[in-house]
Amino acid sequence: MPKALVSSRSFANIVSVGEEMLTAAGFEVRRIGPEERPLDAANMEAIVTRENPDVIISGAEPVTSGVLAASKTLRMVMKHGVGVDNIDLDAATSLGIAVANAPGTNTEAVADWVIGAMLSLLRGICAASNSTRAGKWERFVGRELGAMTAGVIGTGRIGAEVTKRLSGFGTKVLAYDVIPNDELMSRYGVRYVSLDEVLAASDLVTLHVPLTEQTKKMIGAAELSRMKETAYLINAARGELVDEEALYESLETGRIAGAALDVYSAEPPLASPLIKLDNVLATPHIAAYTYEAMECMDRMCAETILAIFAGKLSPNLLNPAVLGDSS
């Protein structure tokens, strides 16, 4: 009986369809419990050595070369999500281990969160709610999203959906991406400009790029200094895209008006001073967490695992060479 080791916090935790599909196909599903967390590389390696799984269903925890080599039977790592910056893809490929992700499954959910965060920041909704609960009756004067200019950095699946939603409000959108999206330009009037212009001209700047060596800390002190003092930064992509020390200084001194953060360089961000600032809307990496997204993601994960174990190629397989396909 093949074993699936679930290190993801969310797989089969919110909906059951993925686990049911694997169990019906003869897999033993073993979940790493809360008592064994947090999952750093050493802890993951020890657990994988002990469990010797055939497949790991991972979340954001490190899947290093040591983790990959720790199981003698490991055939696949399935990311319960999209970004695979936590998985050593080169090491997996050299070991003949398939790696796949679940693209497109959380696009709508994350785009919705971004719009909600923008509205919350502009209208001071969280502050107004806290004030009312405290027995006060204050008037919070906000701004309208349709009167703003939004800067979308990265116009892949999620960035494009955020842009489409912004069009419904009448928001002017400036975009930055190495590959412009023709539909966004022709249908929604998006204008692609330099990163500097996006930062300087936008009232809201939202990040939607993958974490790579090139994008790590792409928003630092210099970039934050180019933003308007009345501007907001929104990050639901990866915490490491932002220099958090520089962001804290910019927020604490009023260099920018505020930020909405769903991701952090260390999670949970217990030691981060960012979450203590009144002008930060902080959520615990939940942008992708809707029942609809989780059902879609769990189902894709299970379908992909079953396909790979049947020797079939799957379009979301990231290293098809391990199945003898070099295309």
Amino acid at residue number 99: V
Torsion 178-61-235-293 (CA) sign: positive
CA dihedral 173, 110, 153, 189 (to 10 degrees): -20
Written as six digits, the tokens of 302 are: 């299970």
Task: Give CA–CA dist 177/327, Å, rounded.
Answer: 26
What was the pLDDT predicted at 324? 77
Digit-coded pLDDT (tens) for 91-109: 999 999 999 999 999 999 9
Strands 204-207 and 232-235 come out as parallel
- pLDDT tens-digit series, residues 144-174: 999 999 999 999 999 999 999 999 999 999 9
Full-model pTM:
0.92
User: What positions carry a catalytic annotation?
Assistant: 238, 267, 285
Decide: 321 and 313 in contact? Cβ < 8 Å. Answer: no
Distance of CA 140 to the CA centre of its chain: 31
| Domains assigned to the chain | 3-105+290-323 (3.40.50.720), 107-282 (3.40.50.720)
Whole-number Cα distances in Å, 284 to 5, 87, 263? 24, 21, 7
